[in-house]
Amino acid sequence: MVLWNKAALLKQLWAFYFKQDKLWVRWVHAYYINRGAIDTVTINSNTSWLLRKILDSRELLRDICGWEEVSNTQKFSIKKAYNHLQEGFDRVSWRRLICNNQATPKSKFILWMALLNRLATTDRISKWKRDCNTLCKLCGVQEESVQHLFFECEYSKSIWNAVLQYIELSPVNTAVGELRRVVQKARSKRSKDKLFVMLYTESLYAIWLQRNSKHSKDSILSPHAVIKEVIFKVACNCNENDRCRLLLV
């Protein structure tokens, strides 16, 4: 968002430089720039906060070596400006899993955190030099990690296996294997593949909620109750045709 805001400020600065036929731009030229140059106009106490931010972006323009880097056929391209400010970050392989996903926003956020390995599982918390029990909150047998929590814990495995059985798929039982499969299906436009992506996302979120409930309240739902909640959420967020397909499975 910070980079996108900088790109948007550059777009406003572009309008000032090339005097686009907009009332606000003409007003700024008449009362602030006053026949001067954008490069030399000074910022004083009378300059509004918004105008000050736009004029401050002149330094950013110098850093990116002029308008040629962010223009497209003599028009400002906010997309090129944003990409230029990003400095060419590589695309992740699972981007379609987040973008082409009809699951609830909260579940997609937890999925995104899990993909980045940023969830506060006990194996990560222990690395912050905090004394804590590193065993899984759900089963209490092995160290809690993203791999174990969602795909190796007996409680989570029972939920995930039942969800896969519901849509007639066999389990892979490893985080890497399931991620590879769901990433591949996220590229598909088939209704069954879309349902699988949604079920994958909502299942991870449901397991995470039960993990937190066990930690804070020492209570969890039965796997059967969790599965019913997952299917209900997916049915509420998919279109009518996919809902019928889900209920008929």
Tens of pLDDT, residue by residue over 54-99, are: 888 888 887 777 787 777 767 888 888 888 887 666 778 898 999 8
Confidence of residue 243 (pLDDT cuts 50, 70, 90): low
Confidence of residue 246 (pLDDT cuts 50, 70, 90): low
Instruction: Assess whether 116 and 21 both reside in one domain.
Output: no
- Residue 111 CB-density burial (10 A; 0-12 exposed, 13-18 middle, 19+ buried): buried
- Of 38, 54, 86, the residue at which a domain comes to its end is 86
Instruction: Assess whether 69 and 26 both reside in one domain.
Output: yes
Instruction: Assess whether 120 and 187 both reside in one domain.
Output: yes
Instruction: Assess whether 73 and 152 both reside in one domain.
Output: no
Average pLDDT over residues 133-142: 91
Query: Is the model's pLDDT at 202 over the cut of 90?
Result: yes
- Of 86, 116, 148, the residue at which a domain comes to its end is 86
When divided into structural domains, the chain yields a total of 2
- Of 51, 86, 121, the residue at which a domain comes to its end is 86
Query: Is the model's pLDDT at 248 over the cut of 60?
Result: no
Min mean pLDDT across 29-33, 103-107, 163-167 is at 29-33
User: Which structural domain range is residue 48 located in?
Assistant: 2-86
Three-state secondary structure of the chain: CHHHHHHHHHHHHHHHHHCCCCHHHHHHHHHHHCCCCCCCCCCCCCCCHHHHHHHHHHHHHHHCCCHHHCEECCEECHHHHHHHHHCCCCCCCCHHHHHCCCCCHHHHHHHHHHHCCCCCCHHHHHHCCCCCCCECCCCCCCECCHHHHHHHCHHHHHHHHHHHHHCCCCCCCCHHHHHHHHHHHHCCCCHHHHHHHHHHHHHHHHHHHHHHHHHHHCCCCCHHHHHHHHHHHHHHHCCHHHHHHHHHC
Instruction: Assess whether 118 and 157 both reside in one domain.
Output: yes
Instruction: Assess whether 138 and 205 both reside in one domain.
Output: yes
Q: Name beta bridge partners: 75.
A: 72
Instruction: Assess whether 111 and 67 both reside in one domain.
Output: no
Instruction: Assess whether 80 and 122 both reside in one domain.
Output: no
pTM beyond 0.85:
no
Instruction: Assess whether 35 and 128 both reside in one domain.
Output: no
Instruction: Assess whether 79 and 99 both reside in one domain.
Output: no
Instruction: Assess whether 156 and 176 both reside in one domain.
Output: yes
Min mean pLDDT across 107-121, 173-187, 199-213 is at 173-187
Give the span between the Cα atoms of 117 and 175, in whole angstroms.
12
Instruction: Assess whether 115 and 47 both reside in one domain.
Output: no
